[in-house]
Amino acid sequence: MELLFADDEPPLPGSDVPSPSIPPWKMLVVDDDPEVIAVTRLALTGFEFLGRRVQILSAHSGEAGREIFEREPDIAVALIDVVMETEDAGLRLVEFIRSGCDNHTTRVYLRTGQPGHAPVDRVIRDYDIDDYKEKTELTAQKLRTLLYSGLRAYRDITALQRQRDGMRRVILATSDILRTGSLREFASAVLGQLTELLGLRDTAIYCLVLPAQAAGGRSARTLAASGSLVQFADQGALDSLPPAIAARFQEALTRKESLHGDKDYVLYHRSFSGQENLLYVELTHPIASHERELLELYAINVSLTFENLSVMEEMQATQGEVVGMLGDAVEQLGTSSAAHVQRVARVSQALARAAGVDEATARLILLAAPLHDVGKVAVADSILLKAGALDPDEWAAMKAHTELGAELLARSRREVMQIAATIARGHHEHWDGSGYPSGLAGDAIPLVARVVSLADAFDSLASDRPYRVRWSDEQIRTYLQEQAGKRFDPQLVALLLGDFARYVALRAEVREA
């Protein structure tokens, strides 16, 4: 073993002291000779790479090596003896690492004291290894050189894998969040993925600065924040951020370029529409050029997504206003107030969320619910405004508003109108099958119709009508309990009554004009 120390050199003076908070690189030494393992440990005493020490794991057989790989998937480098309990134990272990564990990131180096048992050319050709050395070749310095090379390769391979996985997550996040129409959710998701991807601290913040308006200066919008900055996620002006970060953002805006510091990185990107994107991340180490490129890609991605979502949000807002005004107009024809449809819409959205409906559908319900009684435009005022009981012909005309409204709305191919048609047709169906127009029962009634039916009754009973005075909240609670399983979906009633105070408060937020 003397040759192992032939070229050993002391550590260079002034070398950085590794931080104890940074996890070490993991190295596995598999050899049936305890002295080889001991000498390897001694030769690598004090070794560090990129500020991280090396944790040396050891095994005395191929079988024991298997157990360690099953337990420790993040081994960076493995030094494996070929001949141990069998003449090919090391080769079998390599096969297990690559095929059994599907591990192609660990850098594997074979060592042998009996080269004749496994010829070098055949082993390198047939096995996925990085090198094959005789034990007498590995002096201490060569062992260190091998480890530097192996760790660099492992670092680069895992970085590429993280980038690939990160880009996949970014693409999936883009697709998912675009369906919900929430830029804040998108930015938060991708921000978390990015900091994990680059091995950064989880302290980061993303801001958007909109172009100056004619009536005032530029406005800022914080889209996402994490770590110690999460409390600033909903802030607007840059001067509401921590002074050091606000100063860095202002510097980037003035210079119109990204800023590279030892402890932080500020990314600057200007979109075609003039909006300026600012991303601040706290660094654990200086970032490489390919990591900067990924940060740039992130900013461009969020910037383009923001522009697309801004257009979509504007269209949805316009659509919502038109639907709301139409619903208000219908209600004013009858006995309800204009605020009724707004309250029904908001309660319906909240109830749909509680029932497990995804955010995109819940928003569509918010937009569609005001049109639940649109068919009443075809019902005579004498019927709508009648204070007494309706005769059979009048009641038939009143009930027809469900199908009339559904037929009117179904002419549109827009998703929100299709949902509105479903609601219009089904919001007077009863859970027990006693409703109209089709006498549907239970789950045969579309969920969106069941939700709006309950929300409509919840608000209507709290409002004055020509034929009755408003009910108290306690009367409404009792009535809903009695009608659970009869008129209303019992599970939806349980959700509403289980959080009754919140729904009462939500109803109160929209007041009469």
Catalytic residues, by residue number, are 376
* DSSP 8-state code for residue 285: S
CA–CA dist 104, 424 (Å, integer)? 58
By C-alpha distance, which of 179, 197, 219 is closest to 298? 197
Closest CA to 29 of 53, 51, 7, 62: 62
List, as one string, the DSSP characters of 410-456: TT--SHHHHHHHHHHHHTT--TTS--SSS---GGGS-HHHHHHHHHH
Show the tokens assigned to 189: 């998701």
- Pick the closest to residue 421 from 441, 407, 435, 440 (CA basis): 407
ω into 437 cis (within 30 of 0) = yes
The rounded distance, in Å, linking the Cα atoms of 233 and 297 is 22
Pair 350, 343: CB distance under 8 Å = no
Q: How far is the C-alpha of 237 from the C-alpha of 219, rounded, in Å?
A: 7
Q: Residues in the chain, how many?
A: 513
Give the separation between CA 118 and CA 82, rounded to whole angstroms.
8
* Beta carbons within 10 angstroms of residue 18's beta carbon: 17
Q: Per the structure block, which two tokens stand in for 205?
A: 């913040």
143 closest CA partner among 165, 111, 118:
111
Give Dmax over CA atoms of the chain in angstroms.
Answer: 110
Tokens of 198: 């680059």
The residue whose two tokens read 């496994």 is 118
Angstrom distance (rounded) from CA 173 to CA 306: 14
Q: How many helices (H) and strands (E) does the chain have?
A: 18, 11
Residue 347 DSSP code: H
Amino acid at 366: L
DSSP annotation string for 160-201:
HHHHHHHHHHHHHHHHHHHHHT-HHHHHHHHHHHHHHHTT--
Find, among 183, 195, 128, 502, the residue nearest to 349 by Cα.
502
Question: What six digits make up the tokens of 374?
Answer: 């649109």
Contact (Cβ atoms closer than 8 angstroms) between residue 451 and residue 444: no
CA gap 425, 442 in Å, rounded: 15
CA dist., res. 469 & res. 511, Å (int) = 17
